[in-house]
């Protein structure tokens, strides 16, 4: 959580360091962090639902991708999921078949569980563990959470380095720019 604080403040400081005035920085910061980075981290839009153009480069360049992996991966991975009745997918098995028999091939290849495999009115929960959910935002293994925490720390360090670089790049004209 502390890395989250460092990450968003360092990105904001880097934007402010090069912005010509406070007004420009105040408008640019939420656009870059909110609309830009949060939109491509795999949670707002799941990894598999991202357009391939964004999935193969922006997803991996987005520091919030690794922040989310580090925050959630270790916490939810081993949690057993029990769906509430309103969360279950309900359907009828074909005539003469039980839910377990009808869904056997699907369940062997997918995540989730049937509430009662001997019933003919099927109730299916799409996740059986937190790992099933974590895989929707591209955390394929439990150790990815620690890997992502380390990558987030590197993003924090590089973001603060960017603040220093942005301060050095400012010209005398932008350093003395005043807001109206």
The series of mean pLDDT values per 10 residues for the chain, 180 residues long, is 87 85 89 80 80 87 89 92 95 95 94 94 95 89 93 92 84 57
Does residue 102 sit in the same domain as residue 15?
A: no
CA distances from 145 to 22, 62, 117, 164 (A): 36, 16, 34, 29
Please report, for the chain, how many H helices and E strands are present, in that order.
9, 3
Residue 56 sits in the same domain as residue 105 = no
Same domain, 73 and 85: no
pLDDT of residue 14: 85
Looking at the structure, do residues 145 and 103 belong to the same domain, yes or no?
no
Query: How many whole angstroms separate alpha carbon 174 and alpha carbon 164?
Result: 15
Q: In this structure, are residues 167 and 17 in contact, taking their beta carbons and an 8 Å threshold?
A: yes
* Residue 73 sits in the same domain as residue 141: yes
Does 143 lie in the same domain as 164? Answer: yes
Query: Is residue 180 included in any domain, yes or no?
Result: no
Name 91's bridge partners: 122
Q: Is the pTM of this model over 0.85?
A: no
Q: Is there a domain that residue 24 lies in? A: yes
Looking at the domain assignment, is residue 86 inside a domain?
A: yes
Looking up tokens 């380095």 gives: 161
The verdict on 96 and 156 lying in the same domain is: no
Structural domain harbouring 163: 2-77+137-175
pLDDT recorded at residue 175: 58
Q: What is the pLDDT of residue 144?
A: 92
Same-domain pairing of 54 and 26: yes
72 plus 7 within the same structural domain: yes
Look at residue 128 in the predicted model and tell me its pLDDT: 94
């Amino acid at each position: 959580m502390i890395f989250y604080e460092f990450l968003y403040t360092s990105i904001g400081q880097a934007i402010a360091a090069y912005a010509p005035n406070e007004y420009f920085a105040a408008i640019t910061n939420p656009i870059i962090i909110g609309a830009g980075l949060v939109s491509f981290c795999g949670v707002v839009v799941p990894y598999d639902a991202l357009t391939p153009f964004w999935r193969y480069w922006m997803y991996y360049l987005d520091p919030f991708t690794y922040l989310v992996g580090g925050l959630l991966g270790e916490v939810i991975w081993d949690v057993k999921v029990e769906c509430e009745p309103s969360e279950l997918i309900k359907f009828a098995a074909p005539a003469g078949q039980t839910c377990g028999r009808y869904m056997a091939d699907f369940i062997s290849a997918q995540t989730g569980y049937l509430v009662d495999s001997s019933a003919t009115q099927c109730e299916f929960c799409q996740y059986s563990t937190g790992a099933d959910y974590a895989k929707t935002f591209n955390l394929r293994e439990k150790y990815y959470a620690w890997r992502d925490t380390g990558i987030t720390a590197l993003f924090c360090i590089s973001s603060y380095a960017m603040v220093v670089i942005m301060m050095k790049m400012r010209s005398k004209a932008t350093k003395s720019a005043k807001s109206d």
